[in-house]
Amino acid sequence: MTATFANTLRKAGFALAVVASFSAISSTSSFAFSAEAQSQCTGDAFRLCSSEIPNIPKITACMIKHRADLSTGCRSVMDRDMAAQKTGKLAAQ
C-alpha cells in the first residue's frame, strides 16, 4: 500500500466519521444539526475538532467552544439550527 493511498484512505475514514457524527447528533433529542450544517461544517470539524472524532458529544462541545473560529457559513447555520432547536422548530432533514 502506498503512502498516498493510505493517506487518502485515512482522509476518507475521517470524512465518514464526521458525517456519521453529525448524522448521529441530528438524530438525538438533545441537539440537532441540519443537513446544511453538516455540509457547511465538515471542514471546520476536521480543522478544529479532529482530535474529538468519533466522540459525538465532544465534537459538539468543541464546535461550540470554537464558535468564533468557525467559517462564516458554518457559524451562521449552527446559530440558526441551535436557535431553531431551542424553539423546537428544526424540521427533520
Cell of 64: 461550540
Number of folded domains that form the chain: 1
Task: Flag whether pLDDT at 93 surpasses 70.
Answer: no
The answer to the question of residue 93 being in a domain is no
Q: Is position 31 within any domain?
A: yes
In a domain, 92, yes or no: no
Does 49 score more than 90 pLDDT?
yes
> Percent of the chain beyond pLDDT 70?
58
User: Domain for residue 13, yes or no?
Assistant: yes
Which residue range is the domain that position 48 belongs to? 9-87
What is the reported pTM?
0.57
Residue 2 domain-assigned (yes or no): no
